[in-house]
Amino acid sequence: MKDVFANEGEFFKFEKAGDAIQGTFVAQQGPVKDSFDNDQILYILKDTGGKMWKVGLKWYPPAKKADGTLKYSIHNEVATKAKLGQIIGFRFDGKKPSAANPGRFFNAYSFKTEGEMDTQWLAENPQEGQDEADLPSASTPVATAAPQAEMPNDKGLTAVRNMARQRGLVKDVVSDEEVDAAIMLETGLEVVEQNFPQIITKLAAFKN
């Protein structure tokens, strides 16, 4: 994701459960440090009035649950469902008890998108549209009769996922989302294009 707008905008503050923000997804930055020295991902949204907002959410890699499956982070959900120019939203769901650390609580957030695109923003940012906006959203059916040409980003992502399978990081039968989560858990890196070189280096050194 591009971060050309990362220095613009005001931080949106989630103060109570139910607080939410929605806007056009125009950029992403991170992980960066917050005021408590925690890693966070910044999502840059443009509201209907044209104002830029930064939504900072704590970053953490996927964790294994008691049954051995992986618990996905909200960042993995954004990475697999959102693209630049799409209208997305975040909601603060309040503090939830931690299953991994009894007696402790964490801030819970929800992510939502219905696949609607901001056509005006895409028209004003055609390069962004070429890179990201033509990819189908998770909520948009894709015709299978005539396979579409694979985008450059897709080729890199496919290569990373195939390498994770070939190196034995995951079983062949798991979904792409589970592969991404396993990669994040093993490497500590988000599965996005700018991290592919580092991810490949770490996967090459992985020993099953």
β-pair type (52-58, 10-11): parallel
Structure tokens at 114: 């219905």
Per-residue model confidence (pLDDT) at position 188? 81
User: Looking at residue 74, what is its pLDDT?
Assistant: 84
Measure the CA–CA gap between 115 and 68, rounded to whole angstroms: 32
Reduced to 3 states (helix: H, G, I; strand: E, B; else coil), residue 88 is strand
Q: CA 186, CA 203: separation in Å to the nearest integer?
A: 9
pLDDT at residue 172, rounded to an integer? 63
Most confident by average pLDDT, 68-72, 110-114, 139-143, 163-167: 110-114
Assigned fold of 1-134: OB fold (Dihydrolipoamide Acetyltransferase, E2P) (2.40.50)
Q: What is the mean pLDDT of residues 29-51?
A: 87
Residue predicted with more confidence, 5 or 193 = 193
Q: What are the sequence ranges of the domains in the chain?
A: 1-134, 150-208
Residue 45: other Cβ atoms inside 10 A: 23
Structure tokens given for 75: 């960042």
- Say which range, 117-131, 135-149, 173-187, 189-203, has the weakest mean pLDDT: 135-149
Angle, CA of 151, 44 and 80, to the nearest 5°:
40
Q: How many residues does the chain have?
A: 208
Structure tokens at 107: 């801030």
At 208 the pLDDT is 63
**pLDDT of res. 14:** 93
- For 127-167, the pLDDT digits (tens) are 654 444 343 333 333 332 333 333 345 777 888 888 888 88
- Neighbouring-strand partners of residue 125: none
What phi, psi does 97 have (nearest 5°)? -70, 140
pLDDT, position 170 = 78
